[in-house]
């Protein structure tokens, strides 16, 4: 298994851009929770805190694909660095405004400015695609690695943000996220020899990657998938609180990410049958089915035993996440022209982020009115919608290679 991963790092500079990409990606998992924790501590209002955090997510959904579109046209270094400067300035303004008690509307203005944060995850994957576009097996392994890196980010990031904000000072979590972003992007964009070539004509005609029907299917599926993630996080915290062990919720959620990370490591070394579209539909369907046990556990189990059982159910549920995400990135690489690859990948993460915001909001409402056990029906509904969307849009998920008489998309090593 490890030999598959060693092979992808044989390319000069690959370890450097993947490592620095990890540092610059940590803020994605730290920013939202860092804002919520900071404002809850300073303002004593989760309502304002959640709304400001949601403003960042909405702004990123609007601005993120446009920043990535410029990356495809002008290059990663020329766009990512100025975009990072703007994000850092907006974040510092938010930190100062929160610290000195500025009016709430100022917080929202600053949060909106943070939406231009560059999508380092998409840029890292674009570099892998540039290196291994003609070697589908190595590209599959590289995408698997990055899916695992994403999971590590979402395990480590929130722990750092919450821990610093509650034990050092309220602004510490967001401040560290800003530092990671600035240092990470500078180091990442300094890796010039692995930067993909620019495509000056990309986007000049006004044509966006989202015009691809297959990409639209993926984005809509990712909105539903993001709703699963957002809802699971909120409801799990609520369930732990109902059992009198709120602090344990972070460990239970870490088990969820652990299952996904382990599955991603294994998936990167496997050669599986079927096309990318078929594997994506199977993965999304398994993700939907894996949500049902959460309802059963929350309804039938209580106390510490209930939290242990919930952790086990979440671990199993996590096993389908990374393989599905890895396959989705492979589909984007096949469905979207190389000149629009960064933008295409950013659209999927945008859909995911919007889904997280939607799922967490809906789950919060259901928990407030009917309790945590009922709240787990929200990720079940999200899973069903994701599976139906993937199944209904299956014909648009066929790639050119899959239309040939023989299968031309190998995805791993034997």
Q: What is the pLDDT of residues 116-137, one digit of tens each?
A: 999 898 899 889 988 988 888 8
In whole angstroms, what is the distance from residue 159 CA to residue 167 CA? 12
pLDDT for the residue 386: 95
Asked if residue 5 is part of any domain, the answer here is no
Same domain, 47 and 157: yes
Q: What CATH number is given to the structural domain containing 148?
A: 1.20.1250.20
**Residues spanned by the domain of 81:** 14-197
In whole angstroms, what is the distance from residue 126 CA to residue 311 CA? 34
Map residue 222 onto helix, strand or coil.
Answer: helix
- Residue 206 pLDDT class (50, 70, 90 cuts): low
CB 334 within 8 A of CB 271: no
Average pLDDT, the chain: 84
Q: Which of 140, 164, 197 is the last residue of a domain?
A: 197
Listed in sequence order, the residues at least 6 apart from 233 whose beta carbon sits closer than 8 Å to its beta carbon are 253, 360
Same domain, 112 and 145: yes
pLDDT for the residue 176: 94
Same domain, 281 and 143: no
Same domain, 167 and 26: yes
* CA proximity to 46, closest of 27, 57, 32: 32
As a whole number, mean pLDDT of residues 83-88 equals 96
Q: Which of 172, 197, 222 is the last residue of a domain?
A: 197
Q: Which of 162, 197, 232 is the last residue of a domain?
A: 197
pLDDT for the residue 207: 74
Tally the domains of the chain: 2
Same domain, 129 and 247: no
Same domain, 348 and 270: yes
Asked if residue 247 is part of any domain, the answer here is yes
Is residue 405 scored above 70 in pLDDT?
no
Asked if residue 2 is part of any domain, the answer here is no
Same domain, 246 and 139: no
Same domain, 186 and 245: no
- pTM across the whole model: 0.77
Listed in sequence order, the residues at least 6 apart from 222 whose beta carbon sits closer than 8 Å to its beta carbon are 328, 348, 349, 351, 352, 355
Of residues 61 and 18, more confidently modeled = 18
In whole angstroms, what is the distance from residue 118 CA to residue 127 CA? 15
In whole angstroms, what is the distance from residue 51 CA to residue 2 CA? 43
Is residue 410 scored above 50 in pLDDT?
no
* CA proximity to 367, closest of 357, 378, 358: 378
In whole angstroms, what is the distance from residue 223 CA to residue 353 CA? 7
The first and second tokens of residue 64, run together, are 């993120």
Same domain, 39 and 153: yes
Strand extents, DSSP E, 119-209? none
Asked if residue 84 is part of any domain, the answer here is yes
Of residues 402 and 72, more confidently modeled = 72
**Most confidently modeled of 61-75, 88-102, 249-263?**
88-102
CA distances to 10, 201, 207, 220, 276 from 210, rounded to whole Å, are: 34, 16, 8, 11, 19
Same domain, 237 and 192: no
Same domain, 145 and 27: yes
Asked if residue 202 is part of any domain, the answer here is no
DSSP state of 11: S
Same domain, 157 and 250: no
Asked if residue 406 is part of any domain, the answer here is no
pLDDT for the residue 87: 95
- Residue 220 pLDDT class (50, 70, 90 cuts): very high
């Amino acid at each position: 298994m490890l030999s598959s991963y060693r092979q992808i790092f044989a390319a000069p500079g690959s370890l450097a851009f993947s490592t620095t990409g990890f540092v610059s990606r940590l803020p994605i998992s730290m920013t939202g929770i860092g804002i919520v924790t900071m404002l809850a501590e300073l303002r004593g209002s989760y309502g304002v805190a959640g709304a400001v955090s949601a403003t960042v997510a909405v702004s990123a959904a609007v601005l993120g694909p446009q920043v990535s579109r410029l990356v495809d046209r002008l290059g990663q270094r020329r766009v990512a660095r100025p975009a990072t400067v703007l994000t850092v300035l907006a974040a510092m303004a938010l930190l100062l405004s929160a610290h000195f008690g500025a009016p709430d509307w100022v917080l929202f203005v600053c949060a909106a400015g943070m939406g231009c944060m560059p999508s380092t995850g998409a840029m890292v994957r674009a570099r892998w695609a540039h290196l291994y576009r003609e070697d589908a097996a190595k590209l599959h392994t590289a995408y698997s690695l990055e899916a695992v890196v994403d999971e590590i980010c979402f395990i480590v990031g929130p722990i750092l943000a919450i821990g610093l904000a509650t034990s050092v000072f309220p602004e510490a979590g967001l401040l560290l996220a800003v530092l990671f972003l600035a240092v990470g992007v500078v180091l990442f964009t300094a890796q010039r020899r692995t930067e993909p070539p620019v495509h000056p004509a990309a986007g000049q005609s006004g044509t966006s990657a989202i015009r691809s029907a297959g990409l639209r299917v993926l984005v809509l599926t990712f909105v539903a998938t993001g709703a699963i993630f957002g809802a699971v996080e909120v409801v799990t915290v609520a369930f732990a609180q109902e059992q009198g062990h709120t602090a344990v919720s972070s460990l239970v959620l870490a088990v969820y990410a652990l299952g996904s990370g382990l599955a991603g490591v294994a998936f990167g070394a496997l050669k599986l049958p079927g096309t990318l579209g078929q594997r994506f539909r199977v993965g999304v369907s398994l993700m939907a089915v894996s949500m049902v046990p959460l309802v059963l556990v929350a309804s039938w189990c209580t106390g510490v035993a209930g939290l242990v059982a919930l952790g086990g159910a979440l671990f199993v549920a996590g096993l389908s996440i990374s393989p599905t995400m890895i396959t989705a990135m492979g589909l984007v690489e096949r469905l979207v022209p190389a000149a629009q690859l960064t933008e295409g990948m950013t659209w999927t993460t945008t859909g995911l982020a919007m889904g997280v915001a939607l799922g967490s909001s809906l789950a919060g409402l259901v928990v407030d009115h009917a309790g945590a056990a009922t709240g787990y029906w929200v990720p079940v509904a999200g899973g069903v919608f994701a599976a139906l969307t993937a199944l209904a849009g299956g014909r648009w998920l066929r790639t050119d290679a899959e239309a040939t008489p023989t299968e031309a998309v190998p995805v791993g090593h034997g």
